[in-house]
């Protein structure tokens, strides 16, 4: 058998690329081309066809589900299994059943995510305020359309909106649903696309209808007079801030605060929380409260439990004797999701383009779209009446001689000639002749024909009226206003979210409740931390340390001061001294990496204490650079426990000092050279990770070993080591400036 010749070099092998030692061909593609061909179509698909709602207030998944349920005659009909609805929706929505069912759950009455649920559900659909309460499988639940969806489908068969092909071209579906009220402002909606997101809060239906009607009458109306504030299905209390709301109404961006509703039950010495913010869940609240109790920051609570049942949400908080309920709730509002902010981002697709709009601009777009829908609906009705009028005018012609019409039909030999002969005999067109020819024998009497002809005058008046509506925008606006009033009368419900106009007095700073007393603080080289009161220190001043460890940092401070701990991974951990228990000299103290929750392998490097974040930090690096950073750069508005990028990572840290006033510093190198300079030569920076400036010139094999304030060094003649300009190489240490202490100059 003859051997196959190996393919020649440079030829392509169509089989396995690894056969006969061939390498697979690698095609290079510029990253810009990859983004354009692969990523951009995906991004546009997510933005336009998935995540961002349109002017009718729906995402495509919502619209496909609701329209499918409408075609299944579930508006006003009996409920059917959710699994049946999900299966039918797949004809329009090419996604898995779980995604479609999740969409239906969010729209359901049982789940409670909307002020006006669109799906009338039966069975377990979970709860929006619960993270862990799972809804039942679709084979167990039933659903139908809620009555309010009739306002979405009233004009669906009257050419009010465009219809498009579904994904395989086998069916038609509406591009938008012709909503008779601004559903985009009533139904809360959230979506995350590629490079953008959308977060719309809900407003009360009655207020939205009033606001839209007022806008139609006067586009310069102050909407805040009608739309008081957002409204949420979970209730709660909205802290009214006119400035924030006006910003949201004008720009579509901004945030506002919502807090839980609660009541104190003195007889049982407990607090009942019965409404929580829309943005949180029962489990998130309980987890945070539990964390605060374990850390000792909340000591007034003896127990907390979830007593939610069929009557609604309820969290019971048992209080310890003597607890002030008002003060406790003020703490909980500040430290837990019981008070949370809702960040608005009114990003909506308009003609396929995403736009962030304020409430007034949304109403402007909705009214323009709705006016076009009403005109199309009116034109459709007018066209139908014109067709009917045209037929009746043909019928009127045969009234002159019914017998002749009968004779023409009877004397015509071929069926195909009936219509042409009627057209010739009475001077009517083919449509009219077809209508006359199809009249039943029993209806060929004067009474029937005269009644039909009497409709002509009425039709002409109706057509003229419809044409007037199409031609006059003010009449269209009047129709929309009437529809808005009808919707309000039929479906509006009272507000669920209470508006708190008088903001409660700001809760006392927790720092004011922390006992203020002097303490002495010690930190060892390995990171063991002790906070000791002066009384305890007088009883025993001999400090205990682990073998090989020893004293390093020591401060006199207040129990309210803050501790900043720096690690070898350029991170700063923050804590209050009050977070540490009072210790004794005879104890090792708290191990900072464990107490502060440092990452595995992360080591303690240095620490300082401050009360007001005044002053500067000096960082000295092994490469000879020094950075002066304002201590205020480490102050945060929130109680953040960890800051990344606390100092530069370009070179290992050799020493650090808290600088409250300028002074002279002595920098030591491993070559036993010293540079003395004044800290005023270093400019303060607000960037924590600044690399600093060179203060000491080093040869390749040497590095900075330590840095100390000049007064803490044994240097006898500082003038020898003072630098005229920075950086400086420094001078070798003289014998009289050396001590055994130099051997311990390590960080």
Report whether pLDDT(25) > 80: no
**557 and 669 belong to one structural domain:** yes
For 688, list phi and psi in degrees, rounded to 5: -65, -35
Distance from CA of residue 685 to its chain's centroid? 34
**Is there a domain that residue 620 lies in?**
yes
Distance separating alpha carbons of residues 453 and 207, to the nearest angstrom: 48
Mean pLDDT, residues 289-311: 89
Q: Is 185 a domain residue?
A: no
β-sheet with 616-621: strand ranges across: 653-659, 616-621, 625-630, 693-694
Which residues of 491-534 form beta strands (DSSP E)? 498-500, 518-524, 528-532
Output the domain CATH number for residue 293.
3.30.1360.40
pTM: 0.69
Q: Is the pLDDT of residue 507 over 70?
A: no
Share of the chain above pLDDT 90, in %: 67
| Predicted local distance difference test score (pLDDT) of residue 152 | 96
- Name the residue with higher pLDDT: 398 or 495: 495
Burial state string for 376-400 with b = 16 or more CB within 10 A and e = fewer than 16: bbbbbbbeebbebbebbbbbbbbee
The residue-averaged pLDDT of 354-365 equals 96
Residue 690 corresponds to which tokens in the numbers above?
Answer: 């600044």
Tens digit of pLDDT for each residue in 597-642? 898 889 999 999 999 899 999 999 999 999 999 999 999 877 788 8
- Among 145, 179, 213, residue at a domain's last position: 179
The verdict on residue 704 lying in a domain is: yes
Q: Shortest CA distance to 364 belongs to which of 115, 586, 182?
A: 182
Whether 455 contacts 392, CB under 8 Å? yes
Q: Is the pLDDT of residue 4 over 50?
A: no
Q: What is the mean pLDDT of residues 707-727?
A: 91
The token pair at 325 is 């309920």
User: pLDDT at position 21, please?
Assistant: 52
pLDDT tier, 1 (very low <50, low <70, confident <90, very high otherwise):
very low
Please give the structure tokens belonging to residue 178: 């012709």
pLDDT greater than 80 at residue 177: yes
Please give the tally of structural domains in the chain: 4
H helices, E strands: number in the chain: 20, 33
262 — pLDDT class (breaks 50, 70, 90): very high
Q: Do 724 and 613 share a structural domain?
A: yes
Looking at the structure, do residues 738 and 688 belong to the same domain, yes or no?
yes
pLDDT digits (tens, 9 = 90+) for 328-343: 999 999 999 999 999 9
Return the half-sphere exposure (C-beta side, CA atoms, 13 A cut-off) of residue 380: 14
Domain boundary among 122, 151, 179: 179
Contact 444, 406 (CB under 8 A): yes
Measured distance CA(253)–CA(238) in Å, rounded:
17
* Domain assignment present for 297: yes
Instruction: Tell me which of 206-220, 404-418, 489-503, 698-712 is least confident.
Output: 404-418
Q: Quote the radius of gyration of the chain (alpha carbons, Å).
A: 40
* Residue 74: Cβ within 10 Å count: 23
Taking a C-beta distance cutoff of 8 angstroms, is the pair 273, 305 a contact?
Answer: no
**Is 254 contained in some domain?**
no
Helical spans, DSSP H, in 399-529: 402-411, 418-426, 430-437, 446-471, 473-491, 510-513
Are 115 and 232 spatial neighbours (Cβ–Cβ below 8 Å)? yes
**Would you call 153 helix, strand, or coil by DSSP?**
helix
Q: Are residues 487 and 582 in the same domain?
A: no
What's the confidence (pLDDT) of residue 41?
87
304 and 371 together in one domain: no
For residues 450 and 382, state if they share a domain.
yes
Predicted local confidence at residue 140, as pLDDT: 96
166 and 99 assigned to the same domain:
yes
Instruction: Label residue 23 by pLDDT band (50, 70, 90).
Output: low
Confidence of residue 659 (pLDDT cuts 50, 70, 90): very high
pLDDT of res. 503? 66
Considering the chain, what percentage of its residues have pLDDT values greater than 70?
94
Residue in the block written with tokens 């940092």: 553
**Co-location of 324 and 463 in the same domain:** no
Domain CATH code at residue 146: 3.90.199.10
pLDDT recorded at residue 655: 94
Least confident of 39-43, 142-146, 444-448: 444-448
- 746, pLDDT greater than 80: no
- Provide the pLDDT for residue 366: 97
Residues 124-164 pLDDT 10s: 999 999 999 899 999 999 999 999 999 999 999 999 999 99
The two structure tokens encoding residue 7: 């393919």
- For residue range 618-628, list pLDDT tens digits in order: 999 999 999 99
Domain final residue pick, 109, 144, 179: 179
* Apex 166 CA angle, 161 and 172, nearest 5: 45
Find the domain containing 603 and state its range: 510-744
Residues 540 and 436 in one domain: no
Catalytic residues: 140
Domain-embedded: residue 11: no
Please give the mean pLDDT across all residues of the chain.
89
User: Residues 469, 515: one domain?
Assistant: no
Q: How far apart are CA 552 and CA 546, in angstroms?
A: 13
How far is the C-alpha of 348 from the C-alpha of 211, rounded, in Å? 19
Query: Residue 405 — pLDDT band, cuts 50, 70, 90?
Result: confident
Q: Are residues 127 and 71 in the same domain?
A: yes
């Amino acid at each position: 058998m003859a051997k196959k010749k190996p393919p020649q070099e440079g030829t392509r092998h169509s089989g396995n690329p690894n056969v006969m030692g061939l390498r697979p061909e690698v095609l290079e593609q510029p990253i810009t081309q990859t983004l354009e061909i692969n990523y951009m179509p995906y991004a546009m698909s997510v933005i336009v066809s998935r995540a961002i709602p349109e002017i009718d207030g729906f995402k495509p998944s919502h619209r496909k589900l609701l329209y499918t349920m409408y075609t299944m005659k579930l508006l006003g009909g009996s409920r059917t299994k959710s699994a049946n609805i999900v299966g039918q929706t797949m004809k329009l929505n090419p996604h898995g059943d779980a995604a479609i069912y999740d969409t239906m759950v969010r729209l359901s009455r049982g789940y409670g995510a909307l002020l006006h649920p669109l799906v009338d559900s039966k069975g377990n659909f979970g709860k929006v305020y619960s993270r862990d309460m799972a809804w039942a499988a679709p084979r167990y639940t039933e659903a139908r359309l809620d009555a309010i969806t009739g306002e979405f489908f009233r004009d669906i068969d009257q050419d009010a909106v465009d219809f498009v092909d579904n994904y395989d071209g086998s069916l038609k579906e509406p591009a938008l649903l012709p909503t008779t009220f601004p559903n985009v402002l009533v139904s809360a909606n959230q979506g995350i696309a590629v490079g953008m997101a959308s977060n719309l809060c809900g407003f009360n239906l009655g207020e939205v209808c009033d606001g839209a009607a007022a806008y139609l009458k006067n586009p310069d109306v102050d909407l805040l007079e009608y739309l008081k504030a957002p409204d949420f299905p979970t209730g709660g209390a909205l802290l009214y801030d006119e400035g924030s709301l006006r910003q949201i109404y004008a720009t579509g961006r901004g945030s506002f605060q919502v807090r839980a509703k609660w009541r104190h039950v003195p007889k049982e010495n407990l607090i009942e929380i019965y409404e929580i913010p829309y943005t949180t869940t029962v489990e998130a609240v309980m987890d945070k409260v539990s964390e605060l109790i374990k850390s000792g920051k909340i000591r007034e609570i003896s127990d907390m439990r979830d007593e939610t049942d069929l009557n609604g949400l309820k969290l019971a908080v048992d209080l310890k004797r003597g607890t002030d309920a008002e003060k406790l709730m003020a703490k909980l509002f500040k430290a837990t999701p019981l008070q949370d902010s809702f960040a608005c981002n009114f990003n909506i697709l308009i003609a396929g383009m995403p736009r962030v709009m304020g409430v007034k601009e949304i109403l402007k777009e909705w009214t323009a779209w709705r006016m076009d829908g009403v005109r199309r609906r009116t034109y459709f009705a007018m066209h139908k009446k014109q067709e009917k009028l045209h037929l009746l005018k043909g019928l009127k012609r045969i009234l002159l001689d019914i017998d002749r019409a009968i004779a023409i039909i009877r004397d015509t030999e071929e069926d195909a000639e009936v219509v042409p002969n009627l057209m010739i005999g009475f001077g009517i067109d083919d449509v009219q002749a077809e209508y006359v020819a199809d009249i039943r024998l029993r209806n060929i009497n004067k009474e029937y024909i005269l009644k039909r002809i009497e409709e002509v005058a009425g039709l002409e008046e109706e057509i003229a009226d419809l044409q007037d509506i199409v031609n006059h925008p003010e009449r269209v606006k009047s129709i929309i206003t009437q529809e808005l009033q009808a919707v309000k009368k039929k479906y509006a419900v009272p507000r669920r979210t209470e508006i708190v106009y008088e903001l409660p007095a700001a809760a006392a700073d927790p720092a004011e409740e922390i006992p203020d007393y002097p303490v002495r603080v010690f930190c060892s080289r390995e990171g063991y931390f002790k906070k000791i009161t002066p009384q305890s220190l007088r009883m025993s001043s001999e400090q205990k340390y682990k073998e090989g460890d020893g004293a390093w940092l020591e401060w006199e401070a207040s129990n309210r001061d803050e501790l900043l701990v720096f690690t070898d991974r350029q991170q700063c951990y923050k804590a209050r001294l009050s977070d540490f228990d009072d210790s004794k000299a005879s104890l090792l103290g708290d191990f900072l990496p464990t107490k502060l929750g440092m990452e595995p392998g992360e080591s303690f490097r240095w620490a300082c204490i401050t009360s007001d974040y005044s002053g500067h930090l000096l960082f000295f690096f092994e490469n000879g650079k020094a950075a002066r950073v304002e201590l205020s750069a480490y102050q945060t508005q929130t109680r953040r426990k960890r800051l990344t990028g606390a100092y530069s990572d370009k070179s290992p840290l050799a020493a650090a000092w808290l600088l409250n006033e300028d002074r002279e510093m002595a920098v030591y190198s491993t070559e036993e050279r010293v540079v003395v300079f004044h800290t005023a030569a270093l400019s303060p920076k607000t960037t924590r990770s600044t690399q600093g400036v060179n203060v000491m010139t080093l040869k390749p094999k040497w590095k900075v070993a330590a840095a100390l304030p000049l007064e803490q060094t044994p240097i006898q003649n500082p003038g020898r080591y003072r630098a005229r300009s920075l950086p400086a190489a420094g001078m070798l240490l003289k014998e009289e400036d050396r001590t055994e202490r130099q051997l311990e100059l390590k960080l």
